[in-house]
Amino acid sequence: MKIRHLVWLRRTLQGCFLLLFLYLVIESRLPQDVYIDYSLAFSGQQDLRLGQPVTFFFQLDPLVGLTSLLSGYTLVKGFVWAAGILVLTVLLGRVFCGFICPFGTVHHAVGTFKPALKGGRMLQANHKVPSQKVKYSILVLLSVAAVFGLNAAGLVDPIAFLFRSLALAVLPGLGTALRSLFEAMAASDIKFLNLASYAAEVIVSPVFGYNPPAYQTGWFIGLLFLVILFLNRIRPRFWCRTLCPLGALLGIFSRISILNLEKYAEKCTECNLCLKHCQGAASPRPDQEWEAAECLMCFNCQNVCPEDALAFRFAWRPARNHQADIGKRAVLTGLAAGISFPFLARLDGRIDKVSDPRLIRPPGALAETQFLELCQRCGLCMKACPTNVINPALAEAGIAGFWTPRLIMTLGYCEYTCTLCGSVCPTGAIREITAREKVEQPIKIGSAYIDRGRCLPWSGNAPCIVCQEVCPTSPKAIFLKEDVVVTADKKTLKVQLPYVDLKGCVGCGICENKCPVRGLPAIRTIAAGESRSLRNQILL
Amino acid sequence: MNFDKPVTRRESIKKLVKLWGGLSLAGAFTASVTAPVRAQTASADKKFLIEGIGQTDGYSVTELTRKVFERAGGVGRFISKGDVVVIKPNLSWARRPEMAATTNPEVLKAVVELCQEAGAKKVRIADNTINDARRCFALSGAGAIARSTGADLIHPRSSLMKNMNLKGRSLDTWPVFVPLVEADAVINLPVAKHHSLSSLTVGMKNWIGGVGGSRWSLHQDIHQSIVDLATFFQPTVTLIDAIRIMTRNGPSGGSTSYVTAKNTLILSNDPVAGDAQAALLFGRSPEKLGFIRLARDQGLGTSDFQTLAQQRVVL
């Protein structure tokens, strides 16, 4: 195969994988036209599931597999794919970074279509720099922290990072923008625009839905995404070279790769074209030692070399400089941070002493310690949730649980027979459960309590039974007692006072969500009583 | 198209809802130029109530639905050729049909097909659900019906909610689910269920699913709210599904132990009479239900069956 063709193959695959990734992000939701077979609906044997393998890229990701193994002693579903990537890396180097990684492709595209640096400054930026060791530090930190029970890999794992950014910031942001546009069109006096707004809403609904979701810290997720993209203006593929822990892991695994860059110094005219086009700052120039662990296998150097002074060749003996340039300091820094962070993160007492009452985890979530060992904070459950109740946590789960899923009942509620979040969790931090299990065990995520001072009938303001009406359990966990209250104008009012039966309450939060007392609802849900915890219980 | 002429919001909605239906079907535009013609309102003059009962084992619900309409003089009595028909079932909850929290899918399917056979240009199924609409449509069977019959299942959303003045005694301006008002004929297709505040939810209360906004506050004056909504939405005809009724833990239920088979359908163009008849199935006296009394007093209909042309179909 000619090198030119190989480069085009790379570009094609990069494009395909990026498109596949985008497609899977978009497909991570119940489709607008989800119709299941009527007979199946009748028998109740089938749970609603997504049609596409939305966790595919997480299965491909060795960092997800490794940290889950180190912290949770768990082999994640589809880990064979990640193992395959490792084998591929051992043989061919970081081809994942060059050919597959959608986040890498995004950076590659940003740097290529709009290069920020010209001429000598680009050459300068493409020299290998010591700061490229930072990623090894991050990798060591994440692995060691994972061993000590804090799996924070998802914060910086490229797949989780990109998924979270797209699903929780980019798509909802675009959706909100489009919605404002459609609203403006619908409000205009031009008939054609009116018509177009309705049609356009239907056309974009498969991607954006009809109501753009809201996410706590969504703005921050989006801002961070923009910052990381902006870093490409300082150095091309800044993220991949300097920060990406997955790149570091694959770099380490590439040390015995049999695909080597052979250099023919005698042919080199020192035109520096190879250096100018190098994506990984891997020292491609024939007068330098090739850094296999930094090379993103983009094959640009060979492609642009006018003198054929560079060529990738299969050789059974590894090249001299295959060993990743990690450095003792990077390792020690990573170790020190990796050992201290898991314990520092527990100083707020959220794990050991008392958890935040608002920390309601999705149904099927493992007990908190195990949950934090596996959760990648990727946002898949949040994207898939049909009611938008699952949100990235800010401080509710402590610093260790930043961006882990947490239910905000004023934004949505947990549908009684919905088990979608567990079915899409890439690592099993949320177990895949069936609707039958959820209802019959039952799997409780918390419990509701009534704020009598705010409750309409309790406070003598009006009759209301909404919480009881919407309560999905049978028998209802909210029951009513008829009573007579005295209103402000000294009249008697016949009301039905709601009470919560803690035994039956599953904490789904629909009562809080539908409560007509806006702002702070008169019935609220707290995590106490959740099935996953032995300690966080109210009743004997 | 004349772009200079200002268009009222209401007019544009009317156009757009039509356009939307066409798009959702096959991407084909079905532009309508003629002004909608109201279905024969003659039916409204002569009040009737028809009760269909399936007594034999293994009777066909579809057959019963057809027979009930036949006895009323055929669907053609309510729908003209080329009409846009909207059916308002109760699909509030993501529950399976056997829980009787939602309209029986067999009845819904039969009604859709009857409308199509009567020459309806477009049949829409619309309800502003309480649980997530996608899950409600899937689990209640309405989604499968829309797919197999080609009816439009309209996803409730804020762009289809328009503030309208209901001119009720308790309710004034509320966001109304427009597909339910922009149609030539409206068929109310509720399921008969227990309700913890209003005692029962049948036909008139079904219209709570026709509005959006903070509709949970409607419960503070539930009976008047029901009557105000029923007055605003006046359907062409109401078919009450009492094949299975939920007798306890309503309106969401959740167990088949609350469900009793009554194998009954009630078709009436008098919304009050229909609900009153359904109340009898629950062993309730219609006179004791607040919203029926209020509706009768406000002249929405009668709870006195003797004044109606009453008929019975037994299968």
**pLDDT, mean of each 10-residue run, chain A (540 residues):** 88 95 93 65 69 92 93 88 93 92 94 83 88 92 92 94 96 93 87 86 89 92 95 92 94 85 88 90 88 90 90 75 76 93 89 88 93 93 94 92 94 92 94 90 94 92 90 91 88 91 94 93 94 89
- How many Cβ atoms from other residues are within 10 Å of residue B147's Cβ? 14
CA distance A425 to A151: 15
A114 and A228 housed in the same domain: yes
A84 touches B at CB < 8 Å:
no
Q: What does the pLDDT read at residue A44?
A: 58
Name the phi and psi angles at A237, rounded to 5: 50, 45
A339 and A374 housed in the same domain: no
Q: Which of A344, A359, A390 is the last residue of a domain?
A: A344
A287 and A392 housed in the same domain: no
CA distance A15 to A106: 9
Q: What does the pLDDT read at residue A121?
A: 87
DSSP letter (8 states) at residue A131 = G
DSSP letter (8 states) at residue A360 = P
Across the interface, do A210 and B216 touch by the CB < 8 Å criterion? Answer: no
Q: What does the pLDDT read at residue B28?
A: 35
Choose the closest CB to A198 out of B19, B96, B97.
B19
* Dihedral angle sign, alpha carbons of residues A63, A66, A69, A71: negative
Residue tagged 């919304």 (tokens): B271
Checking if the pLDDT of B2 tops 70, the result is no
Tell me the residues of chain A between 19 and 58 that have a Cβ less than 8 Å away from chain B.
30-38, 41-42, 44, 48
Tell whether A45 is covered by a domain.
Answer: no
A281 and A191 housed in the same domain: yes
A379 and A456 housed in the same domain: yes
Q: Using one digit for the tens of pLDDT, what is the confidence trace for A86-107?
A: 999 988 889 999 999 999 999 9
- How many Cβ atoms from other residues are within 10 Å of residue A538's Cβ? 12
Choose the closest CB to B134 out of A30, A468, A475.
A30
Q: Which of A344, A376, A400 is the last residue of a domain?
A: A344
Our measurement of the distance from residue A476's CA atom to the centroid of its chain's CA atoms, rounded to an integer in Å, reads 35
Do B279 and B257 contact (CB within 8 A), yes or no? no
Question: Which tokens in the block code for residue B315?
Answer: 């299968």
Shortest Cα distance from A39 to chain B (angstroms)? 9
Q: Using one digit for the tens of pLDDT, what is the confidence trace for A320-346?
A: 556 677 888 889 999 999 999 999 998
Closest CA to A361 of A410, A435, A421: A421
Shortest Cα distance from B220 to chain A (angstroms)? 5
- How many Cβ atoms from other residues are within 10 Å of residue A222's Cβ? 19
Domain ranges, residue A267? 1-29+56-344
Q: Which residues pair with B144 in a beta bridge?
A: none
The contacts of residue A491 (CB under 8 Å, 6+ apart) are none
**Predicted confidence band at B144 (pLDDT cuts at 50, 70, 90)?**
confident
Choose the closest CB to A470 out of B95, B96, B130.
B130
Q: What does the pLDDT read at residue B32?
A: 36
- How many Cβ atoms from other residues are within 10 Å of residue A388's Cβ? 20
A519 touches B at CB < 8 Å:
no
Domain count, chain A: 2
Checking if the pLDDT of B135 tops 80, the result is yes
A221 and A136 housed in the same domain: yes
Q: What does the pLDDT read at residue B197?
A: 83
* Dihedral angle sign, alpha carbons of residues A175, A178, A184, A189: negative
Tell me the residues of chain A between 194 and 213 that have a Cβ less than 8 Å away from chain B.
194-195, 197-199, 201-203, 205, 210-211
CA distance A239 to A219: 20
SS3 A258: coil
CA distance A229 to A219: 15
Contacts of B257 in chain A (CB under 8 A): 474
Q: Using one digit for the tens of pLDDT, what is the confidence trace for B9-55?
A: 566 666 666 555 544 443 333 333 333 334 444 444 688 888 889 88
Question: Which tokens in the block code for residue B43?
Answer: 């039916």
Shortest Cα distance from B171 to chain A (angstroms)? 16
A459 and A510 housed in the same domain: yes
CA distance B160 to A182: 12
Instruction: Select the CATH number that applies to the domain covering B21-29+38-266+273-314 from these four: 3.40.50.300, 3.40.50.280, 3.50.50.60, 3.40.50.11440.
Output: 3.40.50.11440
Q: Using one digit for the tens of pLDDT, what is the confidence trace for B259-281?
A: 888 899 999 988 898 998 899 88
A469 and A340 housed in the same domain: no
Portion of chain A with pLDDT greater than 70, in percent: 96
Q: What does the pLDDT read at residue A27?
A: 92
Contacts of B101 in chain A (CB under 8 A): none
Nearest CA in chain A to B130: A470
- How many Cβ atoms from other residues are within 10 Å of residue B158's Cβ? 13
CA distance A234 to B229: 62
Tell whether A359 is covered by a domain.
Answer: no
Portion of chain B with pLDDT greater than 90, in percent: 30
Tell whether A34 is covered by a domain.
Answer: no
**Predicted confidence band at B6 (pLDDT cuts at 50, 70, 90)?**
low
Choose the closest CB to B216 out of A42, A191, A516.
A516
Rounded to an integer, the average pLDDT of B284-310 is: 84
Across the interface, do A183 and B105 touch by the CB < 8 Å criterion? Answer: no
A239 exposure class (CB count in 10 Å sphere: 0-12, 13-18, 19+):
buried
A72 and A214 housed in the same domain: yes
Tell whether A38 is covered by a domain.
Answer: no
Domain boundaries, chain B: 21-29+38-266+273-314
Shortest Cα distance from B61 to chain A (angstroms)? 16
ipTM: 0.84
Tell me the residues of chain A between 256 and 285 that have a Cβ less than 8 Å away from chain B.
none
Q: Which residues pair with B179 in a beta bridge?
A: none
Which of B10, B12, B158, B226 to probe the A interface (max A CBs under 10 A)? B12
Checking if the pLDDT of B219 tops 60, the result is yes
Do A310 and A263 contact (CB within 8 A), yes or no? yes
